[in-house]
């Protein structure tokens, strides 16, 4: 019986040779370059107006902003782009019938696709991030320390997980919907809800419930802000984007969130990010299991 690697190998080759994947990498690279250039110009301007301001000494401080911002926008796009036709595309083209007419278990097919997508996403993230880091080392002239490099590597690993969350959601939609066009539309709607709508709703609900003093023009009090933030965060936690940005905050900032003056160890940063990592793992596993169950029970007609 064909193993999952036979399917994964073919799928991986298809993905990395596809125009879609190459375009995504080029766009990602361009976005990273533009973001780096923007920050570099800001630093240069700051230096020229205030000559005593030195170039940022911490490499991570510079890269964190770029990577975290770019990947939080780019990762869902990549996940949706790769996952939206995982099953529906094969169904529409009739290739699913030919593949399933062979002695393969359906879980082999879906596992192989998932493995191939994870490998391709890792490759894309690695290539573009390493290129960006390399360029920034050359431009800024600051080399990351071993600790910074480990934090970056961990962050990239969780970026792959975040991308796979969206890939999983998109794959699930492509499994239950008949047409790829439907799957694309719904995937984009889900992305828009998690990226924009939830945060807007969270703010509106928080304002309505907590009635913060800063909204009424009165001097803001700490309790009001705390309540407002707690509500916003509670509602936003529905979105995988929230958890990814939290992971970025904890991992890319070397300072302890509870004691901002102290530098946190990598392990303690991971501990702080633990619940958010767990949520992303659970959501990814859940959508994958749902896709798996749906696909293995579907009839080929």
Partner 1 sequence: MEHVIETNELTKVYGSGREAVTAVDHIDLRIEEGTIYGILGPNGAGKTTLIMMLTGLVLPSSGSAKVLGHDILKDSLQIRRRVGLLPEGFGFYDHLTAEQNLDYIATLNDVPKAEQEKIVDEALKAVALEEFRDRKVGAFSRGMKQRLGIAQTLIKDPELLIFDEPTAGVDPEGAKVFNDLISKLNGQGKTILICTHLLREVGPLCTHVAIMNRGEFAVQGRIGEIVETMIDEEGYRIEVGIKGDAEAFAKELRSLPEITGLEVKGGNISVRATDDVRANIIRIASKKEVEVLSIRRLEPSLEDIFMKALSKGRQEG
The residues that touch partner 1, with contacts defined as CB under 8 A, are 1-2, 6-7, 10, 14, 17-18, 93-95, 97-105, 299-301
Closest approach of partner 1 to the CB of residue 112, in Å: 10
User: Considering beta carbons, is residue 229 or 296 the nearer one to partner 1?
Assistant: 296
Taking the least distance from each CB to partner 1, the nearer of 104 and 286 is 104
Q: How far is the CB of 188 from partner 1 (least distance, A)?
A: 25
3-state secondary structure the chain: CCCHHHHHHHHHHHHHCCHHHHHHHHHHHHHHHHHHHHHHHHHHHHHHHCCCCCCCCCHHHHHHHHHHHHHHHHHHHHHHHHHCCCCHHHHHHCHHHHHHCCCCCHHHHHHHHHHHHHHHHHHHHHHHHHHHHHHHHHHHCCCCCHHHHHHHHHHHHHHHHHHHHHHHHHHHHHHHCCCHHHHHHHHHHHHHHHHHHHHHHHHHHHHHHHCCHHHCCCCCCHHHHHHHHHHHHHHHCCCHHHHHHHHHHHHHCCECCCCCCCECCHHHHHHHHHHHHHHHHHHHHHHHHHHHHHHHHCCCC
CB of 84 to partner 1, least distance (A): 18
Q: Which is nearer to partner 1, 102 or 258 (CB)?
A: 102
Cβ closest to partner 1, residue 81 vs residue 277: 81
* Complex with partner 1: residue 18 or 249, whichever CB lies closer: 18
Minimum CB distance to partner 1 smaller for 153 or for 293? 293
Output the smallest distance, CB 10 to partner 1, in A.
6
Rounded to a whole number of angstroms, the minimum distance from the CB of residue 301 to partner 1 is: 7
Q: How far is the CB of 187 from partner 1 (least distance, A)?
A: 23
């Amino acid at each position: 019986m064909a193993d999952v690697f036979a399917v994964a190998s073919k799928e991986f080759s298809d993905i990395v040779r596809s125009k879609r994947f190459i375009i995504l990498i080029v766009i990602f690279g361009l976005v990273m370059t533009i973001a780096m250039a923007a920050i570099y110009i800001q630093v240069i301007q700051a230096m020229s107006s205030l000559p005593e301001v030195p170039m940022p000494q911490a490499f991570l401080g510079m890269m964190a902003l770029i990577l975290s911002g770019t990947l939080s926008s780019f990762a869902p796009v990549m996940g949706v782009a790769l996952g939206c036709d995982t099953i529906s595309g094969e169904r529409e083209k009739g290739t699913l019938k030919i593949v399933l007419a062979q002695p393969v278990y359906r879980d082999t097919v879906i596992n192989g696709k998932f493995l191939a997508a994870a490998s391709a996403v890792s490759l894309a993230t690695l290539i573009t991030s390493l290129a960006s880091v390399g360029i920034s080392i050359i431009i800024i002239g600051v080399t990351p320390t071993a600790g910074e490099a480990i934090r970056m590597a961990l962050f990239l690993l969780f970026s792959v997980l975040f991308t796979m969350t969206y890939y999983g959601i998109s794959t699930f939609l492509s499994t239950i919907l008949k047409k790829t066009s439907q799957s694309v539309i719904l995937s984009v709607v889900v992305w828009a809800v998690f990226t924009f709508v939830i945060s807007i709703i969270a703010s509106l609900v928080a304002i309505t419930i907590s009635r913060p003093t800063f909204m009424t023009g009165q001097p803001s009090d700490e309790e009001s802000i705390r309540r407002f933030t707690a509500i916003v965060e509670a509602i936003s936690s529905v979105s995988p984007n929230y958890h990814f940005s939290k992971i970025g905050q904890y991992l890319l900032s070397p300072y302890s969130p509870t004691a901002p003056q102290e530098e946190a160890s990598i392990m303690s940063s991971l501990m702080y990010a633990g619940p958010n990592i767990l949520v992303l793992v659970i959501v990814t596993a859940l959508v994958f299991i749902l896709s798996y169950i749906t696909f293995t029970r579907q009839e080929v007609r």
